[in-house]
Amino acid sequence: MIEELAKKVGIKFNNIDLLQQAVTHRSYLNEHRDYKLEHNERLEFLGDAVLELVVTEYLYNNYPNNPEGEMTNWRAALVNGEMLATISREIGVEEFLMMSRGEAKDKGRARQYLLANAFEAITGAIYLDQKTKGYAACKQFILKHVVTKLPNIIEKKLYLDAKSRFQEEAQERAGLTPSYRVLEETGPDHDKKFVIGAYIGEEMVAKGEGLSKQEAQRNAAEKALEEKGW
């Protein structure tokens, strides 16, 4: 079965166990004591470094006139957990994840975290498996699956945080700077929950929730961008 994932990844593995290990979460070992492989955290550690280097090298070579700060933002947008989880899903990694029954039930943020880590671990597995050609193989894999997302990130300014993007778009399209208002505040001081509205003028575009005002504002801005189709 893991050979199917190797085909999707596009690498002929010398040691297919490395790929199997790359999709093995720590929780799976707790329920399967006789499992012969390690979990994927060391591969993830290695793959994270390779991924960052390939992306950095690409940006350095292809954007000679862009300042370091701008390229740092682009790189962050390319290698953040949300993006890597999306790419993992596109490749088809999710159906091959080895995890505990408890982890398998969680389809939310925890699953996204697992998928992002698995992508980094797969990168690490490719690097180790392809021996002297490890970096070249990783580079080809990353250019195909990750760097191809860059034009969309630059065009839609996805490298900016949601509040900055919403502000830019609102000023450009409506000539107004967005504002945020607390609509609801619940819970004791140590465990507060906020509901905040994102407004353009007097129009409430969207609501966001969070455990801090900043988090609720970010969520409101993200939803406002979706609501407006920006």
Q: For residues 161-171, give the mean pLDDT.
A: 89
pLDDT at residue 135, rounded to an integer: 97
Which residues of the chain does CATH 3.30.160.20 include?
Answer: 162-228
pLDDT at residue 180, rounded to an integer: 97
- The residue among 182 and 164 whose pLDDT is bigger is 182
Report the alpha-carbon distance of residue 181 to residue 115 in Å, rounded: 35
pLDDT at residue 104, rounded to an integer: 86
- The residue among 136 and 187 whose pLDDT is bigger is 136
pLDDT at residue 194, rounded to an integer: 94
Q: For residues 133-162, give the mean pLDDT.
A: 94
CATH architecture type of domain 2-155: Orthogonal Bundle (1.10)
- The residue among 158 and 117 whose pLDDT is bigger is 117
The number of residues in the chain equals: 230
Which residues of the chain does CATH 1.10.1520.10 include?
Answer: 2-155
Mean pLDDT of the chain: 94
Report the alpha-carbon distance of residue 23 to residue 93 in Å, rounded: 8
Over 138-200, what HEC string results? HHHHHHHHCHHHHHHHHHCCCCCCHHHHHHHHHHHHHCCCCEEEEEEEECCHHHCEEEEEEEE
Residues tagged active-site: 48, 120
- Cα–Cα distances in Å, from 56 out to 47, 72, 224? 14, 8, 32
Question: Does domain 162-228 match CATH 3.30.160.20?
Answer: yes
- Cα–Cα distances in Å, from 77 out to 19, 28, 74, 168, 187? 26, 30, 5, 18, 34
pLDDT at residue 230, rounded to an integer: 83
Bridge partners (DSSP) of residue 181 are 197
Report the alpha-carbon distance of residue 183 to residue 128 in Å, rounded: 52
- The residue among 105 and 167 whose pLDDT is bigger is 167
Whether pLDDT at 150 is above 80: yes
**Residue 49 CB partners (closer than 8 Å, separation 6+):** none
